[in-house]
Structures are given as C-alpha cells and as structure tokens.
C-alpha cells in the first residue's frame, strides 16, 4: 500500500514518522507539498529524512502514483477540497480534525466515497487514550449511576504549542485557514459526542479576549444538553498557562474525573473510597497517534471498521459551528 501525505506541517510529520514505525516503506510514503503551511518547517522535515520519500509539488502528479490512501493534513479550510480530489482518484481518506471549517461540500465527499466504496477515517485520536477508554468502561458499568451533568475544560497557551514557528502564522490563528479555538480544540466536542450523543441545543459565549496577536476567537464557554438529559459545560481557550485539560462527570451515585495533565482518572463514589487509575507506565502522547494510524491500516485491510467515520466527523463539526453561531447571535442554537 502507498500513502500520500497532503501537507507537511507538524501533524503531517507525525503521521509520516508513525507510518514508518508501523513498517510502511519510505518509498511508499509520498509527500505532497501544498505550499499553504509553514514552508520552513516542511523543508526541515525533508532534510531530516534525507530524501527518502518521493515529494510532489503537483497533486495530479502525486495521484498518478495511485496511492491507496491520502492522509489529509493541510490547513482546516482546505481539508474537504483536498479530500474530494483524492477520493475522486480512488484514495481512501484519513482526515485530520476538524473535517472542515464549514459544511460546504462535506456531503459531496460523502457521496463520492460511498459511490466508490472508500473508507473515511477522522483523526480524533483521544478516543484511543487509555484513560478515555476507562471513562467509557465506568459509564457502561453505571458506576456513578444516571449521569446528570458534565464539565470539561481544554485551555493551553497558543504560543507554547509549536515554539519553532510564529504562532501568528499558524492555521489555528487564522480565519482564512479555519482557525479559532472552537474548531481547533474540537477534540472535547468529539469526546462529549462519543459519550452522550449529538447535543440537542448549544448556548455559547466568547470571542477574542486575550492580547494574542490573532484574528480568531481565543475563548469559548458553552452549555449544551444531550438527548438523555445530560447537561454539559465546556470551556476552551488559547491563553491559559500552565495548561488545563479535564473532564468531570457527575452522576446520581458519584463522580468520574479525568485530568489529562495529571495523567489520572478517578471515580469518586458518594459512599466508599476513591478508585484511581493512572496512565500506564511509560505511556507517551504519540502512542494515541500510532494506535489510530494502526487502526486505519487494519481498516484498509478489512480487519477493522472506521472508529470515527465521515458522518460522525460531520456531526462534531456541526456542534462546533453551532457553538460559533451562538457566540455571534447570543442565542441558543
């Protein structure tokens, strides 16, 4: 199998190196330089890899090599056009999150992939985190009884994400590339969707609050309700330091809390002792990315199903867009 990486920013680099770790030959990992991201970073990646990978500056030339799958890692606003081009050429699609900055042509991609029987896998890798899986297990076992409400936070200073680049040039900072904290930090919305389904309504507030030199919203607070009656609140921002990331789920018989940076999940019953589960010894962040790519390779071989398919990715995008719409309109959406 051949793989075409479309965009060589930090996430493109990560997927390239993880494909190598999973045993894909260097000559079977093709690179298409889109020219839309941080050129110096991509140049450095190619230099580090010593010219081992075929590099293309034309998508048509790259697709003539008949890759099995395209890894879509260009900026958010360019995801769907690139995915459509690759799918029309017969490529399965590994699509970085969020799937886009709007719903435009998402259904076109779906029609093409369904007609050609292509797999689409959306890269919400936190579903593979062992402590997220532990939360799912506790909920399935009804350890805290009926879930009543949830609070979630993801807050991390944007300038610390990629110290090697000017944060102002990053896709996360730019409206034209689909940036902004709501879309960029959509992992939290995906986890809520995975646990509780699609929200029935969302009310949000936020905007550009900090002194960061960016043109997009850097904070959003939202409240949403799910079909089972669960009420969730979510805070995301680009300016908190040190960073904070957690989810706390309150039920009729206790609470579950996962603190990402403390690397622990715990169940706090109303009666009895706390139970704490730590990340496995030696667990590293990249292991999520390796696991999700490994799952994709298995799906291509018919040994697994897509964990997050295009329809699920579209649902999460809809939740993000409703959040942004609520911020602007100051209405429940």
C-alpha to C-alpha distance for 124 and 96, rounded to whole angstroms: 8
Contact 210, 173 (CB under 8 A): no
State the pLDDT at residue 42.
78
For the segment 15-27, what is each residue's pLDDT rounded down to a tens digit?
999 999 999 999 9
CA atoms within 13 A on the CB side of 87: 28
CA distance 67 to 1: 7
Contacts of 285 (CB under 8 A, 6+ apart): none
- What does the pLDDT look like over 171-221, one tens digit per residue? 999 999 999 999 999 999 999 999 999 999 999 999 999 999 999 999 999
Q: Tokens for 225, please give them.
A: 């309700």
pLDDT at 37 over 70: no
Cα three-residue angle 219-71-284, rounded to 5 degrees: 65
Q: What are the tokens at 323?
A: 């959040």
Number of H helices, E strands in the chain: 10, 14
Domains defined for the chain, CATH in brackets: 3-118 (3.40.50.720), 126-290+315-329 (3.30.360.10)
Assign 289 to helix, strand or coil. helix
DSSP 187: H
Quote the pTM value: 0.96
The pLDDT of residue 47 is above 80: no
Q: Where are the beta strands (DSSP E) in 156-293?
A: 201-207, 219-225, 231-237, 244-251, 254-259, 264-269, 275-278
- For the segment 242-253, what is each residue's pLDDT rounded down to a tens digit? 999 999 999 999
């Amino acid at each position: 199998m051949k793989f075409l990486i479309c965009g060589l920013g930090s996430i493109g680099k990560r997927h390239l190196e993880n494909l190598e770790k999973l045993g894909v030959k260097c000559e079977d990992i093709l690179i298409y330089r889109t020219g839309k991201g941080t050129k110096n970073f991509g140049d450095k990646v190619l230099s580090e890899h010593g010219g081992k990978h075929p590099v293309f500056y034309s998508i048509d030339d790259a697709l003539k090599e008949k890759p099995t799958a395209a890894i879509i890692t260009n900026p958010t606003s360019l995801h769907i056009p690139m995915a459509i081009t690759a799918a029309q050429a017969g490529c399965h699609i590994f699509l970085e999150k969020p799937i886009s900055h709007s719903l435009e042509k998402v259904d076109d991609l779906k029609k093409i992939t369904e007609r050609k029987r292509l797999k689409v896998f959306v890269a919400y890798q936190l579903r593979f985190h062992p402590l997220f899986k532990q939360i799912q297990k506790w909920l399935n076992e009804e350890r805290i009884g009926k879930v009543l409400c949830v609070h979630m936070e993801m807050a991390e200073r944007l300038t610390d994400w990629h110290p090697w680049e000017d944060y102002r040039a990053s896709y996360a900072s730019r409206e034209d590339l689909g940036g902004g904290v709501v879309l960029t930090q959509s992992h939290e919305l995906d986890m809520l969707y995975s646990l509780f389904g699609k929200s029935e309504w969302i009310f949000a507030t936020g905007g550009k609050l900090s002194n960061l030199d960016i043109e997009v919203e850097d904070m959003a607070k939202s409240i949403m309700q799910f079909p089972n009656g669960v009420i969730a609140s979510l805070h995301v921002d680009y300016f908190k330091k040190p960073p904070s990331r957690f989810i706390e789920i309150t039920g009729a018989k206790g609470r579950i809390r996962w603190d990402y940076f403390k690397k622990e999940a715990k169940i706090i019953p109303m009666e009895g002792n706390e139970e704490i589960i730590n990340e496995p010894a030696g667990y590293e962040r990249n292991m999520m990315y390796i696991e999700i790519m490994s799952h994709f390779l298995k799906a291509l071989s018919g040994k697994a199903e897509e964990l997050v398919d295009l329809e699920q990715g579209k649902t999460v995008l809809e939740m993000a867009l409703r959040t942004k719409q609520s911020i602007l309109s100051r209405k429940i959406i």
